[in-house]
Amino acid sequence: MEQKRLGFIGAGHMGEALVRGLIRSKTAEPQNIIASDIRKERLRLMEERYKVKTTNDNIELTKTSDCIFLCTKPLSAPKILKEIGHYISDDKLVISIMAGVSIKSIEKWAGKNLKLVRAMPNIGALVGQSATAITTKEMENKEDLEMAVELLKAVGKTVIVDEYMMDVVTGLSGSGPAYIFLVAEALIEAGVKAGLPRNVSEQLTIQTIAAASHLMTEVGSHPVRMRQQVTSPGGTTAYGLFALEEAGVRAAFIKAVDKATNRSKELGTEEE
């Protein structure tokens, strides 16, 4: 793909994750990336760590970018889009990763129709392992979708969905890494409680989660079947799984996704 000038409005953790992933994969060169943020310390970090250009002027960023990533918090979106809307020309692609903010709202605040794609990556973009869902207002608009996919597949795997699914995506894969981090925390503490040194418990837990992920990816078997294969009748794993089911762990994960999905919907309506 021809090198595009990429602008990132918002240099928080997700903005940084995308920049790192794009540079790491050589999809973009640092000199073709510009980032803006209201926090000077974040801009200094981006300059020092990734050698990208920075600015606190969103209009300057908009004018000089071919593709603009909206990586701000949803509550900041109306003000920013009203500020830059006039300067988003018809040839610029806008990619929003803001949770819960609809295409309709973005265009309303910008005051015009846009070449616009919504995406929901996750923090896995830092290491090229994001799970990213992408949608656009016109699913037949293949050119915009292809460019967004080309950029975002550089930081992980992508799927294309209808916009109404994006809140669920946010609740599942957008927030999902935090759920797995919590699982890791719990397993580490369980190992320590049972008598393992903390560093040993951490190493075993992290490698166990990595191994389970690789198995599901490489073998391609359904998680239910893989769980059954490692659960011997009357064995230690069967007893451990019984305890998890008895504690309602499965229902807790379902509830977590449901709550996060609903919060994503709320974020999309708070500034309408």
**d(Cα 57, Cα 7) in Å, to the nearest integer?**
11
H/E stretch holding 261 reads helix 249-267
Spell out the domain ranges in the chain.
6-163, 176-266
pLDDT category at 196 given cuts 50, 70, 90 is: very high
Distance (Å, rounded) from C-alpha 34 to C-alpha 204?
A: 40
- Give residue for tokens 């819960």: 100
Rounded CA-CA distance 173/159 in Å is 11
Give pLDDT, residue 225: 93
- Give per-residue pLDDT as tens, 5-52: 999 999 999 999 999 999 988 999 999 999 999 999 999 999 999 999
- What's the whole-number mean pLDDT along residues 122-132? 92
Superfamily of domain 176-266: ProC C-terminal domain-like (1.10.3730.10)
- Give pLDDT, residue 256: 98
The residue-averaged pLDDT of 91-108 equals 94
**What is 6-163's CATH number?**
3.40.50.720
Quick check: 5 and 29 in contact, CB under 8 A? no
- CA–CA dist 40, 76 (Å, integer): 17
pLDDT mean across residues, the chain: 93
CA separation, residue 69 to residues 34, 52, 65, 146 (Å): 10, 15, 10, 15
